A and B are shown apart, each in its own frame.
Chain A
Amino acid sequence: MPEVKNRQAVTGAQAIANAMRQINPDVVAAYPITPQTPVVEYFAQYVADGVVDTEMIPVESEHSAMSAVVGAAAAGARAMTATAANGLALMHEIVYIAASSRLPIVMPVANRALSGPINIHCDHSDAMAERDSGWIQLWAENAQEAYDLTLIALRLGEHEDVRLPVMINFDGFIISHGVEVVDFLDDEVVKKFVGEPKVKYPLLDVDNPVTYGPLDLYDYYFEHKRQQIEAMKHVERVYKEIVDEFEKISGRRYDIFDKYMVDDAEYIMIALGSTAGTIKYTVDLLREQGHKVGIVKPWVFRPFLKKELQEVLNGRKAVIVLDRSASFGAEAPLYEAVKSALFNVENKPLIGSYVYGLGGRDIKVEYIKQAFEDAFAGNLNPDEERYLGLRE
């Protein structure tokens, strides 16, 4: 276990801004939006103080922010931005172009409910609206994970076999504004870990001119999409290599899935983000009462790497999936992914879907217990969506 030299009480936003300072990206273009604002605010201070070499581009909208980092990344720069909610929605057109152009942009997203009606608090509807955009999605449970995953994201996206943009999701306010203890790595250690930018087809290489974003009709578009599908298939192997390396410098282990108390668990809950912390606490309480419960939290949600999940869930009594966003008229996104992964599992567990926390509605221990108790009683219906903390 490497020695902890730099332990600080910081917000998630500060932790991410510090990761960005240590990465020292060539270009950051961003537009402020609650609750992402402090990330960019802290980073802008680093730029003003001259502690980073970054070209900071204050733009007039998120559409421009994503456009600017697309241009920068195509030029061969290490480019980052950050956003949330409606800002991410405004980026959408270019979010898709960033992935399709295979530009390894890194973007922390402080997850927040999409309007309307307008709401600034945490839910996952912003990131879920981008889940098919071709970005890798990593999900953090707390400020420490948000910091670590930002560093991992940079390496993952730039890897030769991947070349994809990466989104680090961290719950708005809960992680972005909550103060927690974070162990930072030394600047020199991070510098060595992230290394020099790995570029491919840089526009600034004027001796080897290339064209980005040409018209791509029925004769080639399909082939380019197939390449993106292939790149996502490489993520599992590359991610594992990088997290092994990260463990050596940090002592912190990141797998595809965070598994807590699952070895002998009969009932497993699955959730993304900060709620996993509350679930872990509830798991401890229920274990004291003799219930064999556990939680699986995806650190990687896109690509959705179901093989490991299938192995973990095979033969359990029940699986409860918690979603912090709805898919109107269809099953909630995480539930849909887990349910479809279970199709090929030999001993299928009973499965149930619970939507919670929309627009920042608090998720309480009693709600999590309630869902577990439904499972204990065998009272789960795979085709029914239930709601935690809603006034019925």
Chain B
Amino acid sequence: MAELKNWKELPIGGVIDKPATAKEYQTGTWRVIRPIYQAENCIHCMFCWLYCPDQAVEIEVVDGKPKMKGFNYYYCKGCGLCANVCPKTNDKLPEEKRAIVMKPETEFQE
């Protein structure tokens, strides 16, 4: 989160005077459950990438084809949409067969 400005420093009228300021917004601080990527089960269909509301799914292009790489936890707010739309993830599959496993954030706290 960017430093909070005082009233003399801010643009007037609630105007945001430059584009793409959402990049500075660490939506990852909202997260209470975390998606864990299990690459061995992924078919790289890009559903998670398409549906993620915070563009927190990272991909790369290999030989002209997109490949799922993992999650960006700076932005991932833990909504679980990716796991919900993933064709290789559902409740009936044992966890080790899923491409995405949702885990409580408490498991990652020091």
Contacts and interface: CB of A to CB of B under 8 A. Distances in A.
A388 to B, nearest CB: 42
A223 B16 contact: no
A211 interface: yes
Contacts of B17: 201, 208, 210
Interface residues of A, number: 24
A211 B16 contact: yes
A162 to B, nearest CB: 10
A137 interface: no
Nearest to A201: B15
B12 A102 contact: yes
Interface in B1-32: 4-7, 10-19, 21
Contacts of B4: 219-220
A212 interface: yes
Interface stretch (A6-14, A171-179, A225-233, A310-318): A225-233
Contacts of B21: 211
A208 B19 CA distance: 8
Given A209-B19, A223-B7, A163 B14 contact: no
A210 B12 contact: no
Contact of B14 (A101, A208, A230, A231): A101
A163 B13 contact: yes
A226 B13 CA distance: 11
Nearest to A230: B7
Contacts of B19: 209, 211
B6 A223 contact: yes
A201 B6 CA distance: 20
B10 A212 contact: no
B7 A201 contact: no
Nearest to A213: B14
A102 B10 contact: no
A226 B7 contact: yes
A227 B15 CA distance: 12
A214 B13 contact: no
B16 A224 contact: no
Contact of A210 (B5, B7, B10, B16): B16
Contacts of B5: 223
Contacts, number: 56
B32 to A, nearest CB: 20
A210 B14 CA distance: 10
Contacts of A200: 12
A103 interface: yes
A47 to B, nearest CB: 29
A282 interface: no
Contacts of B12: 102, 163, 200, 224, 227, 231
Nearest to B20: A209
A169 interface: no
A358 B35 CA distance: 66
A236 B61 CA distance: 61
B7 A211 contact: no
Nearest to A219: B4
A3 interface: no
A221 to B, nearest CB: 8
Nearest to B9: A223
A214 B25 CA distance: 14
B60 to A, nearest CB: 28
Contacts of B7: 223-224, 226-227, 230
Nearest to A224: B14
Given A223-B5, A224-B7, A201 B13 contact: yes
A36 interface: no
8 residue pairs, one from A and one from B, having the closest CB atoms: A102-B13, A223-B7, A211-B16, A226-B7, A209-B19, A101-B13, A102-B12, A216-B14
27 contacts: A100-B14, A101-B14, A102-B12, A103-B13, A200-B12, A201-B11, A201-B13, A201-B15, A208-B18, A209-B18, A210-B17, A212-B14, A214-B14, A216-B14, A220-B4, A220-B10, A220-B14, A223-B5, A223-B7, A224-B7, A224-B13, A224-B14, A227-B7, A227-B10, A227-B12, A227-B13, A231-B12
Given A211-B15, A223-B6, 16 more contacts: A103-B13, A163-B13, A200-B12, A208-B18, A210-B18, A211-B16, A211-B21, A212-B14, A212-B15, A214-B14, A220-B4, A220-B14, A223-B5, A223-B7, A223-B10, A224-B7
Interface of B: 4-7, 10-19, 21
Interface of A: 100-103, 163, 200-201, 208-214, 216, 219-221, 223-224, 226-227, 230-231
